Chains A and B, each alone.
Chain A
Amino acid sequence: MVTTKHPVMRNIIGLFIVLSILIIMPSLQYALAQGDEAGEYLDRRVVIWNLFFRMMTVAFVIGAVVSGTLIWLIWRFRESHPKATPTKYEGTGALDE
């Protein structure tokens, strides 16, 4: 039973409970449910390639998202961007000392 009174901690614990129900438990169930079919032999070439393919798909998607986010951040928060707002230090001379 979650007894913490701090709202942030409660949210974090709630998030992990939801994640574990949605992702971790099905993964374990999926993993433990396979592998003992009689008379059927797995093809190493296929299963190893499939794992590699799935991992690479995830890796490239993450790579694209992270790279895209970085590029957007650099583009959006450059000093010359039309919507750029000056910091409270700019123009005060505080940065020149």
Chain B
Amino acid sequence: MSGHSHWPEWIYIGVVVALLVWVGAEAWNLERLVEHVPEDAKVIKVTGQQWFWTFEHEDGTKEVGELHVKKGVPYKFEVTSTDVIHSFNIHDYVVLMDAVPGRINIVWFVPFDEGEFPIQCREYCGLIHYNMRGTLYVEDDA
């Protein structure tokens, strides 16, 4: 040990540790909030297969390549796949979840704005991956 003072180094270490704790706490907290599905969320089963999306509502209604939802209503997506790994993505609502064969992954969201929004596959899944698209229609219930 040399004779110089060590307190600047300990302050540096303290600041770094504090920042890491803060970053970890913030990220953990947000993940907790984002994964907390509201109890009144309506379930939509999302199935990806080469190369289209199928949606099944709670009442059994099915849609292919398009999805109609109500503005302001929470929806819980149960995402799966029948063949290879896809990734269900609604870019405008920051919804992104892998569709994995034999597994059901959960993601939820609330559409706050009316309109049409693109749905796409975000995991390369074969020849027509680029065209594995759909449309989300958000309608006002009022």
Contact = CB atoms under 8 A, between A and B. Distances in A.
Interface of A: 8, 11-12, 15-16, 19, 23-24, 27-28, 30-31, 34-36, 41-45, 47-48, 51, 54-55, 58, 62
Chain B contact residues, majority secondary structure: helix
Interface stretch (B10-18, B45-53, B60-68, B124-132): B10-18
17 contacts: A15-B11, A19-B14, A19-B17, A19-B18, A24-B18, A27-B26, A28-B25, A30-B25, A42-B34, A44-B94, A44-B109, A45-B94, A48-B30, A48-B34, A55-B23, A58-B19, A58-B22
Contacts of B34: 42, 44, 47-48
B36 interface: yes
Which 6 A-B residue pairings sit nearest by Cβ, starting from the closest?
Answer: A31-B29, A27-B25, A41-B110, A44-B94, A23-B18, A35-B33
